């Protein structure tokens, strides 16, 4: 990887707008992959760690710009190449000549402005990466590579992404499909939602990808060898999808402001930063708008800079971190494929268990809770049992509409209901603890029989986190 990082830096340094602190470097570990570390000296508050020009980022705008290098009719003022009026005949001859050398002239010219603008960021970025990183080298017998190759080459392999549950579910080649049954309910729901998005996005772009694969893969003289099978293409798409999902950084995309999941950019080198649970302490991102000088072609959305937060980095080899958000282990596992021991943002979603307990035949409890907007979404974190759980149990146990309403309105405190609901609550927490302890021991036994157990270890960490939360509240109830 060291050589690939050097190539990446050489590529980035071609832009005089790229800056990198002289005292950082890349480290690599089997648990966290690549990360940025301090190599000497110190880095203090507001120091710039790395700053990447707009033109070196991959996002909805820069991709449209690059496609317009090949598709001369793609014209979106301020985003695509600012062209002089074109002579159509010359243009066709030029395109035909170039198409022999680089298939992108022909292919990207097939993409209409309407089609491109109708795609979400995820769809356009994954489509573009799939073509540039995988299809182009295959079709051209490794003669033509994308300009983004130095960036692509430092991304994780599919094997490195193996602990993401939606990959176990979507990728027909995944060896971890059997682990799905051990996913906690929250993770299972999250996995199902992401799997749905993967399939939806594939549905949208696959028509063009499969068609191009047919046409260009068949031009070869080496019998079909340049064609991917549709399963291979889908696997590659899944790989690309999770590279994007685990590395994208929030950034406003002017063409996609209304579609919040589309507001992201991929930023080389910045995407080596690993996550830390503490928020507002470590490094932080800044996006400065593009300044346009006269006659200059503007590419992209703005310079992306990472600065040092309050934490002083002054230990050699100390890792520089970014906080990806206040995320629980269920969230981190599903979006990024890792978990953190003792993650303070962990919580437990016990909606299914509470609903099973309180949903009586007459639907009396459900009707009351629905009417007051307290049906479902019942969670517990390290410090609190959610107010919603108290409302639900208070009504389930007492059926005292008047007093529960007053509790909802804040006129009656928890102290009135606590003695009434404590045995039901305790029973529930005890049974959940027993359930998770059983799953934990099954997983622990399984893990000892497996060579490569990262995926199982992650699940074990999640269940240990749940048991810790439950034990804490049981102790509180006992005291």
Ligand X SMILES: C[S@@+](CC[C@H](N)C(=O)[O-])C[C@H]1O[C@@H](n2cnc3c(N)ncnc32)[C@H](O)[C@@H]1O
Judged by the rule CB under 6 A, the positions of this chain that interact with ligand X are 31-35, 156, 246-247, 271-275, 336-338, 340
Question: In the structure encoding, which two tokens stand for residue 354, read together?
Answer: 């509470």
Residue 313 assigned as binding residue: no
* Shortest reach from residue 404's CB to ligand X, in Å: 42
Unique residue bearing structure tokens 């470590």: 282
Rounded Cα–Cα distance for residues 30 and 39 (Å): 20
In this structure, the number of other CB atoms found within 10 A of the CB of residue 97 comes to 10
Q: Residue 187's closest CA among 315, 336, 326?
A: 336
How far does the chain reach from its first CA to its final CA, in angstroms?
A: 54
Rounded Cα–Cα distance for residues 476 and 385 (Å): 11
* Shortest reach from residue 465's CB to ligand X, in Å: 15
Nearer to ligand X, 113 or 275 (CB): 275
* Shortest reach from residue 278's CB to ligand X, in Å: 11
Burial class of residue 454 in the structure, from the number of CB atoms within 10 Å of its CB (0-12 exposed, 13-18 middle, 19+ buried):
middle
* Shortest reach from residue 34's CB to ligand X, in Å: 4
Nearer to ligand X, 104 or 162 (CB): 162
User: Facing residues of 322 across strands?
Assistant: 275, 283
Nearer to ligand X, 103 or 268 (CB): 268
Unique residue bearing structure tokens 């047919």: 214
Rounded Cα–Cα distance for residues 281 and 289 (Å): 25
Burial class of residue 62 in the structure, from the number of CB atoms within 10 Å of its CB (0-12 exposed, 13-18 middle, 19+ buried):
buried
Question: With the CA atoms of 462, 468, 470 and 474 taken in that order, what torsion angle do they form, in degrees rounded to the nearest 10?
Answer: 170
* Shortest reach from residue 245's CB to ligand X, in Å: 8
Q: What is the sign of the dihedral through the CA atoms of 263, 267, 272 and 278? A: negative
Nearer to ligand X, 35 or 376 (CB): 35
In this structure, the number of other CB atoms found within 10 A of the CB of residue 263 comes to 20
Nearer to ligand X, 157 or 448 (CB): 157
Whose CB is nearest to ligand X? 33
The residues, ordered by sequence, that sit 6+ positions from 104 with a Cβ below 8 Å of its Cβ are 70, 131, 136
Nearer to ligand X, 5 or 135 (CB): 5
* Shortest reach from residue 458's CB to ligand X, in Å: 10
Nearer to ligand X, 6 or 371 (CB): 6
Task: From residue 66, give the alpha-carbon distance in Å to each of 49, 235, 275, 292, 354.
Answer: 28, 25, 31, 18, 52
* Shortest reach from residue 337's CB to ligand X, in Å: 5
H-helix or E-strand containing 188?
helix 185-218
Coarse DSSP helix, strand, coil percentages of the chain, rounded to the nearest 5 percent: 55, 10, 35
Nearer to ligand X, 154 or 424 (CB): 154
Nearer to ligand X, 131 or 167 (CB): 167
Give the chain's length. Answer: 479
Nearer to ligand X, 139 or 152 (CB): 152
The residues, ordered by sequence, that sit 6+ positions from 335 with a Cβ below 8 Å of its Cβ are 164, 190, 194, 245, 246, 327
Q: What is the largest CA-CA distance in the chain?
A: 86
* Contact between residue 138 and residue 48 where contact means Cβ atoms under 8 Å apart: no
* Shortest reach from residue 275's CB to ligand X, in Å: 4
* Shortest reach from residue 63's CB to ligand X, in Å: 19
* Shortest reach from residue 341's CB to ligand X, in Å: 10
Annotated binding site for S-adenosyl-L-methionine: 324
Annotated binding site: 324
């Amino acid at each position: 990887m060291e050589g690939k990082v050097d190539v990446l830096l050489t590529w980035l340094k071609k832009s005089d707008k790229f800056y990198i602190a002289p005292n950082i470097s890349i480290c690599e570990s089997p648990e966290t992959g690549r990360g940025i570390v301090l190599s000497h000296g110190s880095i203090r508050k507001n120091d710039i760690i790395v700053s990447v020009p707009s033109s070196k980022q991959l996002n909805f705008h820069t991709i449209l710009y690059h496609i317009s290098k090949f598709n001369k009719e793609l014209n979106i003022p301020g985003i695509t190449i600012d062209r002089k009026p074109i002579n159509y005949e010359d243009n066709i001859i030029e395109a035909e000549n170039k198409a022999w050398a680089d298939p992108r002239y022909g292919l990207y010219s097939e993409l209409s402005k309407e089609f491109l603008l109708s795609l979400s960021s995820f769809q356009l970025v994954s489509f573009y990466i799939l073509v540039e990183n995988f299809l182009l080298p295959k079709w051209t017998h490794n003669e033509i590579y994308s300009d983004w190759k130095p960036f692509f080459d430092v991304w994780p392999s599919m094997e490195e992404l193996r602990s993401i549950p939606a990959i176990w579910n979507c990728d027909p080649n995944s060896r971890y499909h059997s682990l799905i049954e051990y996913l906690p309910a929250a993770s299972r729901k999250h996995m199902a939602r992401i799997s749905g998005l993967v399939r939806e996005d594939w549905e949208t772009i696959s028509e063009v990808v499969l068609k191009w694969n047919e046409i260009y893969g068949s031009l070869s003289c080496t019998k079909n060898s340049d064609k991917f099978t549709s399963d291979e293409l889908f696997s590659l798409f899944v790989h690309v999808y999770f590279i994007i999902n685990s590395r994208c950084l929030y950034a406003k995309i002017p063409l996609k402001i209304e579609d919040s999941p589309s507001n992201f950019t991929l930023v080389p080198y910045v995407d080596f930063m690993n996550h830390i649970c503490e928020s507002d302490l470590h490094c932080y991102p800044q996006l400065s708008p593009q300044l346009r000088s006269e006659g200059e072609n503007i590419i992209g959305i703005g310079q992306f800079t990472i600065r040092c937060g309050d934490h002083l980095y002054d230990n050699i080899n100390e890792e520089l971190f970014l906080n990806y958000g206040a995320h629980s282990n269920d969230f981190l596992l599903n979006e990024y494929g890792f978990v953190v021991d003792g993650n303070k943002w962990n919580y437990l979603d016990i909606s299914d268990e509470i609903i099973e307990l309180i949903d009586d035949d007459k639907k009396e409890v459900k009707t009351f809770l629905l009417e007051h907007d307290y049906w479902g979404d019942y969670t517990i974190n390290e410090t609190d049992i959610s107010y919603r759980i108290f409302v639900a149990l208070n009504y389930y146990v007492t059926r005292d509409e008047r007093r529960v309403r007053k509790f909802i309105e804040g006129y009656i405190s928890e102290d009135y209901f606590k003695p009434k609901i404590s045995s039901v609550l305790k029973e529930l927490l005890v049974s959940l603890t027993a359930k998770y302890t059983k799953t934990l021991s099954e997983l622990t036994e399984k893990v000892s029989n497996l060579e490569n157990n990262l995926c199982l270890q992650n699940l074990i960490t999640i269940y240990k986190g749940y048991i810790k939360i439950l034990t804490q509240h049981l102790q509180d109830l006992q005291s």
